[in-house]
Amino acid sequence: MSTDLSLRSLPLFPLSTVLFPGGLLPLRVFEVRYLDMVRRCHETGAPFGVVALIAGNEVRQAGGASEVFHDVGTLARIDAFESPQTGLIMVHCVGEQRFRISRREQLRHGLWVADADPIADDMEVEVPEDLKPDADALAQLIETLQQRRDVPDAPPLPLSPPWKLDDCGWVSNRWCELLPLSTELKQRLMALENPVVRLELIGDILARNGIA
């Protein structure tokens, strides 16, 4: 996606998770404020923005805390859409470009919209020699997950090919998704604009846990 894209009145979906570029996101949508938005995005092929919550809940509750969310998020593009019953939509999304919010507004029916500026995609940087054990460990994990697909009722793979195991950004993003990190830490890692630094930080986490 071009970095000169102007994102105006971008609909937002605040969630208790962080979406990374290239990441997969299944959503079960039932709130009125999101049903029309998701349907319009599907029909027009337009993305919506996923932002991680700082306070508040994914589902609005009477008397609950107001939604507060981070300024940096990721565009989500719908690649599968199903409406099994009235008032319920199941979608599968793929993370695209990151963005930074410059203005936000909550509409009367509760939907958040924002003006945002795109953040340049990670440069493709080859995994340096000292970080290759982290890429190798990811390759082994992917192989293990693929083997488990033969087990009855096995969950779908949490990541999809192509496997860019020689690219710092791709490897670090996939580890961020797979590791049990806090939402706040994942947010900080996602917002980093240097993929090598992101992978170095992930490498430290893997080393502390004896993974790589």
Per-residue pLDDT of the chain (212 residues; tens, 9 = 90+): 434 455 899 999 999 999 999 999 999 999 999 999 999 999 999 999 999 999 988 887 766 668 899 999 999 999 999 999 999 999 999 999 999 999 999 998 889 999 999 999 999 999 999 999 999 999 999 999 888 877 777 778 899 999 999 999 999 999 999 999 999 999 999 999 999 999 999 999 999 988 86
| Residue carrying the six token digits 């917002």 | 191
User: Would you state the pLDDT for residue 4?
Assistant: 40
CATH number of the domain at 129-208, please?
A: 1.10.4060.10
Q: Cα–Cα distance between 5 and 79 in angstroms, integer? A: 21
Closest CA to 104 of 63, 59, 60, 73: 73
User: Would you state the pLDDT for residue 65?
Assistant: 66
User: Would you state the pLDDT for residue 1?
Assistant: 40
Angle at which helices 195-208 and 132-147 pack, to 10 degrees? 70
User: Would you state the pLDDT for residue 138?
Assistant: 97
Domain boundaries defined on the chain = 7-118, 129-208
User: Would you state the pLDDT for residue 184?
Assistant: 97
Q: Cα–Cα distance between 58 and 44 in angstroms, integer? A: 25
Listed as own residue / partner, the contacts of 195-200 with beta carbons closer than 8 Å and 24 or more positions apart are 195/122, 195/123, 195/125, 195/167, 195/168, 195/169, 196/125, 196/128, 196/131, 196/168, 198/168, 198/169, 198/172, 198/173, 199/127, 199/131, 199/134, 199/168, 199/169, 199/171, 199/172, 199/175, 200/131
Are 35 and 98 spatial neighbours (Cβ–Cβ below 8 Å)? Answer: no
Q: Topology of domain 7-118, per CATH? A: 2.30.130
User: Would you state the pLDDT for residue 17?
Assistant: 96
